[in-house]
Structure 1
Amino acid sequence: MSAELRQSPLDAVHRALGAKMVPFAGWTMPVEYGGLVAEHLAVRTAVGLFDVSHMGEILIQGRDALRFVQHVTCNDAARLVDGQVQYSGLLNERGGFVDDILVHRLAEDSYFLCVNAANTAKDAKWLRGHAAGFEVDIRDVSHEYAQLAVQGPRAVALVQSLTVEDITGLGYYRFRRDVVIAGITALVARTGYTGEDGVEIYCAPADAERLWKALIEAGTAPCGLGARNTLRLEARMALYGHEIDDTTTPLEADLGWICKLSKGDFLGRDALLRQQAAGLTRKLVGFEVEDRVPVRDGYPLVADGQEVGRVTSGSPSPFLRKNIGLAYLPIDKTAVGTQVFAIVRGREVPCRIVPTPFYKRPG
């Protein structure tokens, strides 16, 4: 028997708006409202609102909190100051991703992790499994939070209109606690998963509906997870289970910049050093389809008559009006301009390796 799907605190709101609801990472979530393309373009040109309450939150506290976070993450948490966010990874002993996460430093002895929805329980168990010898308390606090993402070139100004706090002056990858927005107290972080400016807002589940309605009334468009996926693909942001998993390393995923090998020992470091010394055999690259045919997740890619990889994410790009995708390919097939072919319904469709991100916001 399959586990019962969880519901966002905004489930009834989404249904009232006519959202198409689908199973996602153990939850029932809105994939779109009026249409994916319109929602995608609203974020690229103005402002969109996403319910991302399915994301997980884990709190790490205690005297050894910093030392522990340094041990279990590949980035250098010692560089953080209070109120700063860091993109990082939890890696296994082979250097593969247990998860990719956001680390928020509340204080030197307190860190708030935002983790992927499907990995929340696994991550909490994994963290506790590596806590021996550290004076830390690890708590899954996901039930204490709803999360709304306001994204787009007008996002910050819109949120600013609902608070007296200085959101406009909040730096990129910085956050502020106890911000009152439309009468609701929340944590506000200048982060996102769309390639646009914006904020992610963490509030109590009981306050989510009131906050959502205030943001909609202020002029933001409701957007589903379908648009969130095409937006992150244009921006070449990895999706767990597609571009990254427990068999892929940050070096292969072109995320070596989040691995601070010089910071000292951390889980997965030895494997990364070995891989770095030996040289990569494959790498994640972006491609454009030289055809009007979309290339989807899982499609084979061939060169010289041999399969050389599979598409990790592929979709039409609503903003660029091209068909794009990501895939792991052998190193000798990763140079920009290299041609490979996607197998689509038995036909070879030409694709060309291109620089990424496919889209980068102006300014």
Structure 2
Amino acid sequence: MKGRTMESVYSDSVAEYEVLRSACGLIDYSGIGLLRIAGSGASAFLSQVSTRSVDFLLEGQISSALLLNSDGSVLAEVLIHCHGTDYLIEIWPAQAAAATEYLVAAGNTGAHDVTVQDVGDEYCVFGIEGPQAPAIAQKFLPFPITSLSYAGFVTTPWRDDLELLVSRTGVTGEYGYKLHVPVAAGNELRRHLVDLGARQVGLAAVNVCRMEMRFANLEQEAAGVTPFEVGLQWMVDFGHDFIGKDALVAHWEAGPPRRPVCWIASDRLQAIPDPGSWLVVEDESVGAVAHAVYSPRLGRVIGTARVDADVAAAGLKLTLEQLTRPIRTTAAPFLVATSFGVPLE
């Protein structure tokens, strides 16, 4: 429900991190944004306001896309679920309020035959992620879990009189699923997931896993920047017109001022540097930290930065100016998710 925020920690963030990497974590997506888009102009509307055309989407498929401001900067990342001629839009909680306001206003312009309905208060959404998540998700499906493809979803009966939306999407690199349930049954579903073996995990642990996979953390990295500056250009389809496209093309032709890189610190660095901390080479500033976390599995501080083009490569040594500690740029992901070694069955 909007207005609520995700819990940062339930017990211990490192223990919760290990649950995600070795068992099954339960993520309560309090505050998630949900909008139902309907009408004969629904697909044209979504193609205009998002960076990906939805014309190719089939029923039961999900597409990830960006919403941009007119200047090409990132407003939010969304998941677009295709229900035939209607669509369900899912928005990460930190961007839900701004993106919901944006989409509702865009739908009210009269440019398309479309209705944009905010249904965020009608549902609870839970994520289950980890190598053991498929076994739990299977309990809610009448067919083999292997038949639910990545970025796919189904609706299925639950408790006789309720309907669940079950999707295969995630943010940790592990097997991941989401379950949407009417809000009145939210607590019952939460208890049932715990009884099945899922353990509640907070946003702090989730964000470490996101960083390890190099899934952009927009609430930390994207204030006022374009997709090029957070490595999300792969989510932009320049083959159709959308809000912010002209500005984005101009930005690319001019050359982004700085480019995103991943980095890993030496074991001498214990403190997590603040966003904006300067990076230097031979006393010359070449960029700044965008976001950083401590990875329990690697035993190192890892992060992202935006740097000058001539140092935007893996394997280069930079120095954190304020802490006088070395870091090394590296390719992503930082590690291989446990689920890659676990057969889906």
Q: TM-score, normalised by structure 2?
A: 0.91
Counting only pairs closer than 5 Å after superposition, residues 75-154 of structure 1 correspond to structure 2 as 75-108=52-85, 110-131=86-107, 132=109, 133-154=111-132
User: How far, CA to CA, are the matches of 2:208 and 2:161 in structure 1?
Assistant: 33
Q: 1:142 to 1:310 in 2, by over 3 A?
A: same
Q: 2:275 aligns with which of 298, 301, 306?
A: 298
Offset from partner CA, 1:39-79 (integer Å, 9 cap, x none): 11111112111111221111111110000100011012112
| 1:342-353 equivalences in 2 (<5 Å) | 342-343=320-321, 346-353=322-329
Partner of 1:310: 288
- Identify if the C-alpha distance between structure 1 residues 194 and 106 changes in structure 2 by more than 3 Å, giving closer, same or farther: same
The total of aligned residue pairs comes to 335
Contact 2:27 2:200 in 1 (8 A): yes
Which residue in 2 is equivalent to 1:329? Answer: 307
Compared CA separation, residues 129 and 219, structure 1 to 2 (3 A) = closer
Matches within 5 A, 1:1-363: 26-108=3-85, 110-131=86-107, 132=109, 133-180=111-158, 185-245=163-223, 247-262=224-239, 264-290=240-266, 291-303=268-280, 304-343=282-321, 346-361=322-337, 362=340
Offset of 1:206 from its aligned partner? 1.4
Q: 1: CA distance between counterparts of 2:198 and 2:105?
A: 42
* Structure 1 unaligned regions, length at least 5: 1-7, 9-24
- Contact kept in structure 2, 1:74 and 1:89, CA below 8 Å: yes
Q: Which runs of 4+ in 1 moved over 4 A?
A: 181-184
SS in 2 for 1:293: coil
Deviation at 1:26, TM superposition (A): 4.8
What's the Cα RMSD here? 2.0
In 2, distance between residues paired with 1:294 and 1:182? 52
Secondary structure of the structure 1 residue equivalent to 2:137: helix
Amino acid at match of 1:82: E
SS in structure 2 at match of 1:347: coil
Unaligned runs of 5+ in 2: none
Question: Are residues 137 and 320 of structure 1, via their aligned partners in 2, closer, same or farther at CA, if it must alter by over 3 Å?
Answer: same
**TM-score normalised by length of structure 1:** 0.86
The alpha carbon displacement at 1:162 in A equals: 4.5
Q: Deviations over 1:124-145 (max 9, x none)?
A: 3322333331011011110011
Distance 2:139 2:64 in 1: 28
Structure 2 counterpart SS, 1:77: coil
More displaced 10-residue stretch of structure 1: 211-220 or 293-302:
293-302
Describe the shift of the 1:149–1:297 C-alpha distance in structure 2 as closer, same or farther (beyond 3 A). farther
Residue 163 of structure 1 and its aligned partner are, at CA, apart by 4.2
**Take 2:172 and 2:323, find their aligned partners in 1: how far apart are those partners?**
32
